[in-house]
Structure 1
């Protein structure tokens, strides 16, 4: 006798959502924060017991550590592909995202990036790469215009960490400064592992720069500002994205950090209707305050899940068009994508350190 096994009425489809971030190394705090945002969205979705095309689904997080290293990033990207993920949320670093995105595109798997901002990421023509955060051209462009038109800086210095992210920020800042009629007095660079910037800052001080724009991340920016204070520099510090965080102020110290400026991607949680609620839920779930990017990774995950619901499918080939056409109201604002996969209506917020805390000053972009 041949036994015929019928599918269980309670069969559940397991849908893997990949996440890749630096979970070790200098950016581990941000990487864990981003992973937490994805995890929170997945847990909430599972609590709602969704069905896709009439079948129960359970979303599962498949998280990997790319260590902020492009070579490792490609390796873990292939692991996620081999694991059969339906979609990927990541990566944190632009320099990792650029090569890893090619792996996902070759496999036909969509990528939604909550943090990487180099414009080249969505200019590769894949059609399966999306970004829910403003690009460097948008955010650092605002910083460049602000430096010339608002601070009235005459002698502007630029420094970057030579990563795809930091150098991309610096280049877009320079373009915006020159387009606004300003000029760059001196350009310096370091690397993303450096802890001493004395040589570069000595040159910047010698050039009598009244403003320094830094393309890099919060921990190095904090060390940079601390050293500026030690050298007696009165140069205004202006950062791009990935600066306005407690890591910066803790490293720089209150005296050195006071008055520092940073243009960040999106709006502050205080400015967003659901921001306070998100922060409270995050702290209750993980026992710590959220950092900058977990709201973006949370929204990216919900965009992915919503697209699957709208497509009535978890097959990547059917989910990609649904992402492309999506209109989603998230914690970070209204999300829809242009032809390249970038936000149609990006926003940027200027923060300044006042009494040891980053305080929003002004915003440019969509309401």
Structure 2
């Protein structure tokens, strides 16, 4: 069941105060439920002169990947709040932005259903989706109805291959991430690497890039196996992998599977092998999901952007994020924040929230964001995106400088 629920900041705070008065532990602000339309600033008196402009955030808000989705939505909510605080007029009318948060459950069918719903409700722009498997089919729907879509998370190179003028990506794709990891394997003199993927568009895609570049680097791929993005038991796969005596394992997938995989590797004595993965495993949550297993120390993962310390506004932005959403930061929220700000900036330059009017301005952006200065290739790919490798030191994710 989908419904619209408008919440003001005052109402949210009042609800939190009521819970606290009932003796319940106060929780960090949560991303709104599916379909919620959140006004980050209350409408001014005489709101008939205020134009409401809706920007959607789409990601998995339920299931094993919900922590990613909440992080993504938080970035959009922060951007909307910041712009409302700053104030904008379009066509001579004041604007109040609202974030519409939708759940695609990391499922392609639900993702396309959400995309059609957003087209029907005529949102002005979309930030999302998170998974390549949902983003790729949804991108056609947004293109057909003319709504710009900016992803700061989906990395499969196939996303921009159709040439849709409404599709933009502000993060490095898997061609860059897989290659960076394969080059790191060569740098560390690995000779034999096993590859496992979860058969999703993202997981299989980045695994194929890694394997291709690794082979070109003279590394032998000793086995290629696959699981699913719902699995939790990897003992059979890992037992077969151990028999091949690899000095490294690459996993194409998400942290919900990588965490248990690391625990089971420890049980099987696979404690010295490097463990490579893309941005899907490169989260704060991985340390928790792995239960502190020793193989966590061997993880090398890649993210399509700079580390927070090297982002133009990363550290100051992160302080504000943590104050608003303590303990919820994962990976992509700086990019979803920038994606939403990028869309609103294009509207301002076009003096219109009409997608047909501001889309050309979006394509020609040169926006100085928190994560980077964002400009686009004709394909919708970001020009010169950065990529950063990370590892885990005493359970903390740190950039490999």
Q: TM class by shorter-chain length? A: over 0.9
Structure 1 residue matching 2:398: 3-state secondary structure: strand
Partners of 1:313 and 1:251 in 2: how far apart? Answer: 45
Structure 1: distance between partners of 2:293 and 2:238: 18
Q: Hey, what does 2:143 align to over in structure 1?
A: 105
State the secondary structure of the residue aligned to 1:156.
strand
Give 1:332 shift: 1.1
State the 1:68 CA deviation: 0.9
Match of 1:194, SS state, is: coil
Segments of 4+ moved more than 3 angstroms: none
Partner Cα distance (1:159, 1:9) in 2: 55
* 1:176-202 alpha-carbon deviations (Å, 9 max, x no partner): 112323331111110000001111111
Task: Give yes or no for contact 2:143–2:164 (8 Å, CA) kept in 1.
Answer: yes
Name the counterpart of 1:169: 206
Separation (CA, whole Å) in 2 of partners of 1:240 and 1:108? 31
Tell me if structure 1 keeps the 8 A contact 2:191–2:219.
yes
Shift in alpha-carbon separation, 1:145–1:9, aligned structure 2, 3 A: closer
Q: How far has the Cα of 1:273 moved from its partner?
A: 3.5
Alignment check: 8 A CA contact 1:213 1:240 kept = no
**Superposed displacement of residue 9, structure 1:** 10
Deviation, 1:289, is 4.3
TM-score (norm 1): 0.93
User: Which secondary structure state, in structure 2, belongs to the residue aligned with residue 109 of structure 1?
Assistant: coil
1:209 equivalenced with 2:249 (yes/no): no
**Which one of 108, 116, 121 corresponds to residue 78 of structure 1?**
116
Check whether the contact 1:186–1:207 (CA below 8 A) recurs between aligned residues.
yes
Q: Distance in 2 between matches of 1:304 and 1:19?
A: 12
2:258 pairs, out of 199, 211, 221, with 221
What's the counterpart of residue 231 of structure 1?
A: 268
Instruction: Supply the distance in 2 between the matched residues of 1:326 and 1:273 (Cα, whole angstroms).
Output: 17
Q: Is the 8 A contact 1:282 1:288 kept in 2?
A: no
Q: Does the 8 Å contact 2:73/2:336 carry over to 1?
A: yes
Aligned to 1:43: 81
Cα displacement (A) at 1:53? 2.9
Residue 64 (str. 1) matches residue 102 (str. 2)? yes
Residue 25 (structure 1) aligns with = 63
Which residue in 2 is equivalent to 1:136? 174
Instruction: Specify which of 256, 262, 265 is matched with residue 301 of structure 2.
Output: 262
Aligned mates of 1:264, 1:125 — CA distance in 2: 24
What is the DSSP-based 3-state SS (H/G/I as helix, E as strand, rest coil) of the residue aligned with 1:258?
helix
Aligned length: 354
d(CA) in 2 for partners of 1:289 and 1:27? 13
DSSP-derived class of the 1:158 partner? strand
TM-score normalized by the length of structure 2: 0.86
For 2:399 and 2:220, locate their aligned partners in 1 and report how far apart those are by CA, in whole Å: 27
Change over 3 Å in CA distance of 1:115–1:9 after alignment to 2: closer
CA–CA separation in structure 2 for the residues paired with 1:251 and 1:272: 27
Q: Which residue of 1 aligns with 2:154?
A: 116
Could you give the per-residue CA deviations for residues 280-331 of structure 1, whole angstroms, max 9, x where no partner exists?
1112222434221111100000000011111111111122111111011111
CA–CA separation in structure 2 for the residues paired with 1:99 and 1:42: 26
| Secondary structure in structure 2 of the residue aligned to 1:347 | coil
Distance (Å, rounded) in 2 between the aligned partners of 1:255 and 1:100? 37
Contact 2:312 2:369 in 1 (8 A): no
**1 CA distance for matches of 2:225 and 2:77?**
39
Decide whether the 8 Å contact of 1:62 with 1:80 is kept in 2: no
Name the counterpart of 1:338: 377
Distance 1:286 1:206 in 2: 44
- For the 8 Å contact 2:70–2:328, the answer to whether it is kept is no
Structure 1 residue 215: Cα displacement: 0.6
- Residue from 382, 386, 392 that aligns with 1:353: 392
1:15 is aligned to 2:48: no
Query: 1:249-299: CA deviations, max 9, x gaps?
Result: 112133421232111221121222321211111122224342211111000
Deviates more, 1:123-132 or 1:234-243: 234-243
SS of equivalent to 2:298: coil
Equivalent position of 1:281 in the other structure: 320
Q: Does 2:227 match 1:155?
A: no
Query: Which among 129, 146, 151 is matched to residue 91 of structure 1?
Result: 129
Q: Is the 8 A contact 2:376 2:382 kept in 1?
A: yes
Q: In the alignment, is residue 294 of structure 1 matched against residue 333 of structure 2?
A: yes
